[in-house]
Amino acid sequence: MLSLSFLISAPECYPGGHRTLRNPYRSVDFDSTELQNTAIQDLVCDHSLLPGWYRFKINNKPAEMPTTCVEMNRCGTQAPVWLSLKDTSLPRPGEVRQLSGCATWQFFHGSAKDCCLFRIPITVRNCGEFLLYYLQPTQGCMGYCATGDHAGWVGCVFIVKVKAAVPSLPSKPVITPELIGHSVHLRCSFIPPPWSQPLGFQVVWARHIGHSMKAEIRQESTLNPFSLVEMDGVHFRLGETVIPARPYWLHIAENTKEHEVTVHSTVPIPCFDANLSQQCGVPLALNSLEREASNVALSTCQVELRPNACSDGSCGRATFLVTAVTDFTRDGNRVSLVGALPRPNAPRLWRSYIPTSLKDVPTSMCYSLTDPHIITLDGRRYENHQTGTFVLYRSLSRQFEVHSRQWDCGSRHYAVACNCGFAVREGNEVGIYDMCNGQLQETRPQLTLKNLGDEEGIRVRVLESHQGKKVTLIFPSGAFVRADVSDWGMSLSIQAPSVDYSNTQGLCGTFDRNGNNDFLGSAGVSYGPTDLHSFIEDWRIAPGESLFDKTPPGMKQEVRRPFCLCHKAYGTSHYTGTGMGNLYNPSTHSDCIAYNNMDYTSVFPSMDTTMEYIKNPKKEEDILDMSALDSHPLERSYLQFHSENNQNSNSNLQLDSEFREDHLLSVDRLRRQVSSQFQPMFTAQSLSKADLEKFAYFFPEDHLEEARPEVQPQWPTPSGLTSAKALEVCQMALTNSTVGAVCRGLLGRRLDEAVDLCILDLQLKDDLNWERALLPYLENECERRLLENRTQRALEVAGALGASGELMTALRCPNFCNGNGECTEWGCQCYPSYSFYDLICSDSNELGLCDIRATDCRNIRVFGLGFINSPDLSCHATRLKYMNGVWVPGEKQRTKATLLSSKALDCCLDLQYVLPFLPQVTNDGSQYSQAKVLTIYDGVCQVCEASRSGLCKLKEQTCNIDGMCFGEGDSNPSSPCLLCDPDTSRFTWSVNQVNKPPTFHRPQSNLRTFAGENFVFQFAASDPEGSELLFQLEGGPKGAILSPAGLLIWRVPSLPEGAHQTRRSFSFTLSDECNAQSTITVEIDVVPCGCQNGGTCVTDVNFPAGSGKYLCVCPEGKQGDLCNEDVDECLSAPCTLGKCINTASGYRCECPSLKSICALIYNDDYTNSRVCVTCLEDINECERKPCFPGVQCFNNFGSYGCGPCPKGMLGNGTICTGKCGHIKLNKR
């Protein structure tokens, strides 16, 4: 028998159906370590590999993926990928199998190696002569490995062969670079061996690619004792040397230190320009090759290799500086690459990558919140209820210090404090943000910037977010101080850069990731948790000695060197040239002017308002150019600048006149008044006039002689607030807020901590208005954790441009703009008729207009300054009347005011008329705010413009009747027969001339009833104008009734004998309110009742009314749909033990023998049978004495039993005989 088999290959097995991977580095024998040290750009990284079918070849010979674990740093990569055959095998020819690829990895030196840390699905197809692999991109810089027969590799770098057996070369060949024209060549020269005949030489050029591997590049036959090749940058590459001492590697840390790097050329430098008059040199573009974020910054993005005489292996050099970027991200230690590339049209010779090892140095944040609750740099929390001025943060490694001022912030029962200002200094830069010189809930913060040195310009940046409620001062070191401003004061956030790690002191603690040593005094004294008061007092600043009052002397400040983030696009984010066309022009200035060694990234949309606080306009050009802080002019700032020497200068920014008119109280008060119920009693120090002159203003909290009483709050609070209610309120305000819900995963325990602090705030203040005071803390902490997490940060930034990015949206647009605006990159853009209040878009009555059709004008929102929650807080509205061409004040009304904050409240108006009003607000019932005209109008018929005249115009094709607006065709609310017809009259009602009669809706089927039914049916109708309808019966059978609403009631009489069916007609009129009528006739079929044997017809409710369906109610003894069947009385088994016989009049029972006859006997002959109803009454058989004389009888139901025979006799008790058998006595 001849057996034939055929192998049909898949399409991918044919040419064109797959790709071939030929890189010899993929060999399992290739060591990648040298590539990582010399040419990291040549590492095999398959993260960008296109998905598809691949086969492997090494040295033009077939290869396959290894099926055993491959060591790290093999296959031209760090994490080699091999094919796992666990519990399976490779496919047979023609088969395909789904397998897994494993990546080998070792986390750090000395740890255990994991041969399969990452798994990648790989499909393998056996094409007979070779294997195909369906490969996918790897997760990172991993590479697919190959193994096979690799014979044929050249074993040395340079090999010389001759055509006959002659002595070998007396010495090794020597390679030297030389300049030929404008190209660099390599000369391989050697001394020929002594030989009498002419010799030919075969020169093999090869490149060393591993510890024991070389790749052949070129072969040449020559008669000369040398060989020349051009360095093309591809096959023959330029070697470089990197200084300092440890070649190719530079170890730096995020500590602001600068490191010098020198690039040497080991070959002569040619002139690339045809114009020989120009100076020769190689311009190199420097770039940092990083896939995610920038880790290093360079002092320049371009250097030029200048030619000089070659000596010590160097023919030219260029120098630049590198420093680590302080990025406030927890990204661990990492490796960055710095590359140098020539201009695009130059030969690819000067290609270099300098691996840079970066050490991640911690950064942190300190918070002073509300009460204030202080959270140290190491995360420890404590309370500071003292007032005065304190050192909040001090750096020991540089000149950086933050002072905070705390005032009493209005608790009703306890002595509590809040921040009212901060002063910060870095080097010669001083910034003061202060609202302590005013009255609680009335004053606004003032910002002052000072430069203590002689240099021009200022290096601090001021950013304002969320309508000026979040103000951030950013310093060159990367540190910032942020104030979240409210009516009671401000919460402070201080960012500590990595340069301050292990070098801080003050109330923010010692930044060393050890919270146990945070309570360290100024003299190095360590305080315990029980001595917290002494720790706080240690950092109190004496009156007149703080940055608020005393200007410290300037210092000699180091010139700050700019650094750029140079990327591979031959450019920089801040470059002085006009474009990349000038990059290689030797005259172009290549130094950076940016300061990108600090990452100033912020999620909050902000506006750079630094210019508002610079006194000299000429200094504008000296302010640092920080693109990360560039802002969009969406928000407006209302802060006011006061210079140190001229606080009353007319050049200062002033509030516009209209805004000043709305202020209830002056913002320029020099003394504060405590408006809270709790007024602490203290003794102030005696101050002379000279003492007072030292202070910028008198801050009484700095002059306390006695400590404030210790706070000991209890539950419930004096107002009755319980801990459970406080928990509910705080969870609703914080946990269920937008930022709490969206940032829950990032915040972690910080969210629960914020709820605890909120509960404490409510307990201390006994005021529910504090429930949202910690929302800014959640926003700041969420931003910090988002920026710390590089992966989450990248995902959010990418998502913000697409469909996701929920975190970015929540931080940019609080409460998602309340649904009344669009969230943009620059924050909320409110829809028309909404304004930006409390960071969200709220109803707005701006321009003094309110349309009652679009807004509830009975509740208007008033914005101002200095609103106080007092018993006399109220709104007053004066109604205006237009008489003789002028508005005359009319009726006045006082209404309730709902306090929202010191800057906003809601007023209720009693709207009986659509007229202009003059609303005013009062705190005490005697002093009123300036009045503004508020025009309340009806947008249906009025067009109003924002003006003090308050006049409106009547729209065309509308009516104004009795002070109310109606559009054309609108009906009178009380009579549809009247409508608005502007062509007839615009001020009175017009009669509806096109009133249509009502429409009757006939039943879907013919109406039907039966004789004797109480027929009930509801007629339906409608009016085109929506008017009420009236039904009136005009004709019909006797006894029929039709209600005005159309309900027909009729008792159907019996039909004459022999009649089968008849039809009755009903006539009625249908009228609307305007007396338009319709006449209707309805016919109803009447059928006789079909019940027999005296049965009665009733309506079947399972069918709709008017169907004529009925049921029969049968008399006793009859059954069936029409009562035409007898009832079988025996079906219920009434005779139980007896036999039931059905009779015409009922039934009778034939009982078995021994049953009694019941009292009820039916008409039957019962002479030979026992007849009763149920056969359940028993007959006592013992009364007949059935037993042998002297034997006891026992009666049973339906039977009886006898006892034993007398002694000496035998039998069953009924018959007894003697033992001898001759005597037989029968019963009698």
How sure is the predictor about 168, in pLDDT bands with cuts at 50, 70 and 90? confident
Number of H helices, E strands in the chain: 11, 79
Q: Mean pLDDT: which of 358-372, 472-486, 791-805 is highest?
A: 472-486
Helix (H, G, I), strand (E, B) or coil at 529: helix
Residue 994: CA count within 13 A, CB half-sphere:
6
In whole angstroms, what is the distance from residue 476 CA to residue 459 CA? 7
Confidence at residue 520, expressed as pLDDT on a 0 to 100 scale: 93
What share of the chain has pLDDT > 90, as a percent? 23
Task: Say which DSSP state 802 is in.
Answer: S
In whole angstroms, what is the distance from residue 1097 CA to residue 1114 CA? 9
Instruction: Provide mean pLDDT across the span 15-24.
Output: 89
pLDDT at 779 over 90: yes
Instruction: Provide mean pLDDT across the span 1183-1209.
Output: 87
In whole angstroms, what is the distance from residue 831 CA to residue 852 CA? 18
pLDDT at 631 over 50: no
pLDDT at 328 over 70: no
Burial degree of 730 (CB within 10 A; 0-12, 13-18, 19+): buried
Confidence at residue 527, expressed as pLDDT on a 0 to 100 scale: 93
Helix (H, G, I), strand (E, B) or coil at 11: helix
Higher pLDDT, residue 903 or 291: 903
CA distances from 1210 to 1182, 1191, 1214, 1222, 1225 (A): 21, 12, 10, 12, 11
CA distances from 1192 to 490, 1187, 1214, 1215 (A): 113, 7, 10, 13
Please list the residue range(s) of the chain that carry CATH number 2.60.40.10: 240-361+563-582, 845-940, 999-1119
pLDDT at 401 over 70: yes
Report yes or no: 706 and 698 within 8 Å, Cβ to Cβ.
no
pLDDT in tens, 554-578: 888 777 777 777 765 434 443 333 3
Picking from 194, 226, 237, 185, the residue whose alpha carbon sits closest to that of residue 39 is 237
The Cβ of residue 1161 has, within 10 Å, a number of other Cβ atoms equal to: 12
Question: Hey, what are 166's tokens?
Answer: 């002659």
Lowest mean pLDDT among 497-506, 779-788, 946-955: 946-955
How sure is the predictor about 400, in pLDDT bands with cuts at 50, 70 and 90? very high
Q: At the fourth CATH level, which superfamily is domain 845-940?
A: Immunoglobulins (2.60.40.10)
pLDDT in tens, 801-823: 333 478 888 888 888 887 778 88
Report yes or no: 991 and 978 within 8 Å, Cβ to Cβ.
yes
Confidence at residue 96, expressed as pLDDT on a 0 to 100 scale: 92
CATH topology of domain 1185-1225: Laminin (2.10.25)
How sure is the predictor about 317, in pLDDT bands with cuts at 50, 70 and 90? confident
Confidence at residue 760, expressed as pLDDT on a 0 to 100 scale: 92
pLDDT at 846 over 50: no
In whole angstroms, what is the distance from residue 936 CA to residue 917 CA? 7
Question: Hey, what are 1054's tokens?
Answer: 């019996």
Lowest mean pLDDT among 370-379, 635-644, 777-786: 635-644
The overall pTM is greater than 0.75: no
The Cβ of residue 899 has, within 10 Å, a number of other Cβ atoms equal to: 15
Q: Cα angle vertex 359, ends 358, 362, to 5°?
A: 135
- Beta partners for residue 1148, in sequence order: 1141
pLDDT at 499 over 90: no
Instruction: Provide mean pLDDT across the span 443-454.
Output: 84
In whole angstroms, what is the distance from residue 496 CA to residue 519 CA? 18
Instruction: Provide mean pLDDT across the span 495-520.
Output: 91
pLDDT in tens, 969-999: 888 888 888 889 988 888 888 888 888 899 9
The Cβ of residue 412 has, within 10 Å, a number of other Cβ atoms equal to: 14
Helix (H, G, I), strand (E, B) or coil at 1026: coil
pLDDT at 1081 over 80: yes
pLDDT at 921 over 50: yes
pLDDT at 381 over 90: yes
Report yes or no: 975 and 1015 within 8 Å, Cβ to Cβ.
no
Higher pLDDT, residue 880 or 1043: 1043
How sure is the predictor about 462, in pLDDT bands with cuts at 50, 70 and 90? very high
> What are the start-end ranges of the E strands in 717-853?
821-824, 827-830, 834-837, 840-843, 849-851
Instruction: Provide mean pLDDT across the span 950-965.
Output: 80
Picking from 1017, 1020, 1081, 1021, the residue whose alpha carbon sits closest to that of residue 1049 is 1017
CA distances from 22 to 83, 153, 889 (A): 18, 15, 94
Q: At the fourth CATH level, which superfamily is domain 999-1119?
A: Immunoglobulins (2.60.40.10)
How sure is the predictor about 350, in pLDDT bands with cuts at 50, 70 and 90? low
Picking from 211, 209, 246, the residue whose alpha carbon sits closest to that of residue 354 is 246
Q: Mean pLDDT: which of 262-276, 280-294, 1092-1106 is highest?
A: 1092-1106
Instruction: Provide mean pLDDT across the span 1119-1136.
Output: 82
Question: Hey, what are 71's tokens?
Answer: 């060591």
Confidence at residue 374, expressed as pLDDT on a 0 to 100 scale: 95
Confidence at residue 893, expressed as pLDDT on a 0 to 100 scale: 84
Sign of torsion over alpha carbons 609, 614, 618, 622 = negative
Question: Hey, what are 591's tokens?
Answer: 């130094």
Q: How far is CA 768 from the centre of its chain?
A: 27
Instruction: Provide mean pLDDT across the span 878-891.
Output: 78
How sure is the predictor about 233, in pLDDT bands with cuts at 50, 70 and 90? low
Sign of torsion over alpha carbons 337, 338, 342, 343 = positive
Instruction: Provide mean pLDDT across the span 789-793.
Output: 58
Report yes or no: 790 and 798 within 8 Å, Cβ to Cβ.
no
The Cβ of residue 275 has, within 10 Å, a number of other Cβ atoms equal to: 6
Picking from 344, 289, 349, 298, the residue whose alpha carbon sits closest to that of residue 319 is 298
Q: Top-level CATH class of 240-361+563-582?
A: mainly beta
Confidence at residue 53, expressed as pLDDT on a 0 to 100 scale: 94
How sure is the predictor about 171, in pLDDT bands with cuts at 50, 70 and 90? confident
Instruction: Provide mean pLDDT across the span 1176-1193.
Output: 85
Helix axes 749-765 and 723-730, enclosed angle (nearest 10): 130
Instruction: Provide mean pLDDT across the span 756-772.
Output: 89
What share of the chain has pLDDT > 70, as a percent? 73
pLDDT at 157 over 50: no
How sure is the predictor about 913, in pLDDT bands with cuts at 50, 70 and 90? low
Picking from 617, 627, 341, 600, the residue whose alpha carbon sits closest to that of residue 478 is 600
Confidence at residue 1165, expressed as pLDDT on a 0 to 100 scale: 45
Please list the residue range(s) of the chain that carry CATH number 2.10.25.10: 1185-1225
Lowest mean pLDDT among 70-79, 191-200, 419-428, 1048-1057: 191-200
Confidence at residue 673, expressed as pLDDT on a 0 to 100 scale: 35
Report yes or no: 746 and 782 within 8 Å, Cβ to Cβ.
yes
Instruction: Provide mean pLDDT across the span 124-145.
Output: 90
Q: What is the mean pLDDT of the chain?
A: 76
Report yes or no: 238 and 247 within 8 Å, Cβ to Cβ.
no
Describe the strand order of the beta sheet including 1139-1143 as a list of residue ranges.
1139-1143, 1146-1150, 1171-1172
Lowest mean pLDDT among 296-310, 526-540, 586-600, 1127-1141: 586-600
